[in-house]
Amino acid sequence: MTTVTPTTAKSKVSARPSSGQARFAFIILLIINILNYADRFVLPAILPKVRADLGLTGFQAGLLGSSFLLVYAFATLPIGVWADRSMRKNIVALCVGIWSIATVLAGITRNFVQLFSALAILGIGEAGYAPASLSLLGDYFSNERRGRILSYWSAGQLIGVALGLTLGGLIADSLGWRWAYYLVGIPGLIAAFLAWRMVEPKRGAFEQDQDVEEAEAFFTIGGVSFWLPSYLSNTFHLTIGRAGITSGAVLIGGGLLGTVLGGWLADYIQRRRPQGRLITATLGFLVGAPLAFLGLTLHNLAAFIAVIVVAITFLSFCTGPLNAVMQDIVIPQVRATAIGLALLLAHLLGDAASPSIIGFIADRYTLGVALLTTAPTCLLLAGLVCLLGLSTVARDMRRMQEQMGVQDKKGVEM
């Protein structure tokens, strides 16, 4: 009896990577994830200075965020398909290199069109990272460890957001907004080389383990996060540097707490009900939405921070569970494609257009009105969509396991 295995780049693929290889890969992918979000969230931190320097309207400022997110959304699906058919570690290395160069180029732009174009290229680079890296992480670690590993990886997103907002604001205040792009872009080139040095694991190497406790991390941050430093600056009259520090503290404080609590709660409920992960995400949205509304009505800085931190804590419940559901129902051979499709839909229906829409409304009213009328409503709708999914997720999980069994039978020659 022999087992049929793919021949593409066979010599470079490790059936089950050693613990040392897996740890090395995790550290590199974690660092890259931090840089990914740091590069992305420099713009919200320096946005007031960019607008003043380039003479941008609120709508144009929003378009800068949308340029990145729209290109990012459309590029994730084809790159995800590519990742399911090629060496994922090389795709990660290439994409990290592209977005790091684009970040540095953003610092030398001199008008709206140039900056818009640089951020669009940044979106192409970052689009290739999530599908390939999440697929890799699913194959580096066993099911029993995967939940914890991916929760730690998710924390890198929050750290990156905080670094981008904090360092971006501080550097913009002291050296100018262009230097913020220069300094955050260079480390990515080193990370790209290290990613190329990783070992490529076999797809689905751990899927037959009996202990199925997996969680994938993904932190969806939309228009509110993009405009938060500007909102703090306008509403509470903070400096650019202090607004960036405060934004970073609010997001990482509530986000890390919510990610840990949400992951623990999802695992606890999942052991008792197959819908456990989706129940956790639903709870987070339905509680977080009204809290976000309440926070945006407050005009005292301390009260605003306290309520928004609690809101973000609940909203971060979905960080692991939602994407863990996706890994639960999709076979390993097409997970990168599935992640790419999910990112495409998530950004098109969510944060790709939201910076521009909020900026457009802010031009006609105020930024506070724009945030208050858009964010809580969309979050509540997300909770209602999760409610609808509760009726189908258990059946979809069973179908995935059945498909894995059929593929195993076809892969064995008598």
Residue 279 has pLDDT above 70, yes or no: yes
Question: What's the whole-number mean pLDDT along residues 221-225?
Answer: 67
pLDDT band at 291 (very low <50, low <70, confident <90, very high): very high
Give pLDDT, residue 277.
82
Question: How far is residue 340's CA from residue 112's CA, in Å, rounded to a whole number?
Answer: 29
Band (pLDDT 50/70/90 cuts) for residue 2 is very low
pLDDT of residue 308: 93
pTM of the model: 0.71
pLDDT score, position 218 = 36
Q: Is residue 301 exposed (0-12), middle (13-18) or buried (19+ Cβ within 10 Å)?
A: middle
Please give the pLDDT value at position 5. 39
CB 357 within 8 A of CB 374: yes
Q: Which of 297, 298, 266 is nearest to 282 (CA)?
A: 266
Locate the domains of the chain by residue range.
21-204+222-404
Q: What is the pLDDT of residues 103-115, one digit of tens each?
A: 999 999 999 999 9
pLDDT band at residue 301 using 50, 70 and 90 as cut-offs: very high
How high is the pLDDT of residue 305? 94
Beta pairing partners, 412: 3
Give the least confident one: 67-76, 324-333, 334-343: 324-333
Neighbours of 352 (CB within 10 A): 25
- How much of the chain, in percent, has pLDDT values that exceed 90? 22
Single-letter amino acid, residue 248:
G
Token pair belonging to 281: 């995400």
Query: 274: closest CA among 318, 316, 324?
Result: 324
pLDDT tier for residue 350 given thresholds of 50, 70 and 90: low
Q: Distance (Å, rounded) from C-alpha 175 to C-alpha 192?
A: 27
Measured from the Cβ of residue 144, the count of other Cβ atoms closer than 10 Å reads 14
Residue 284 is predicted with a pLDDT of 92
- Tell me: pLDDT of 230 over 60: yes
User: What percent of the chain clears pLDDT 70, i.e. is strictly above it?
Assistant: 84
CA pair distance 382, 370, nearest whole angstrom: 19
Residue 297: pLDDT over 90: yes
Residue-wise pLDDT tens digits, 40-53:
889 988 988 999 99
Cα Rg of the chain (Å, integer): 21
Closest CA to 265 of 251, 252, 275: 275
CATH superfamily of 21-204+222-404: MFS general substrate transporter like domains (1.20.1250.20)
Taking residues 196-217, report their average pLDDT.
60
Cα four-point dihedral sign 274, 400, 338, 391: negative
| pLDDT at residue 238 tops 80 | yes
- Top pLDDT among 258 and 154 is at 258
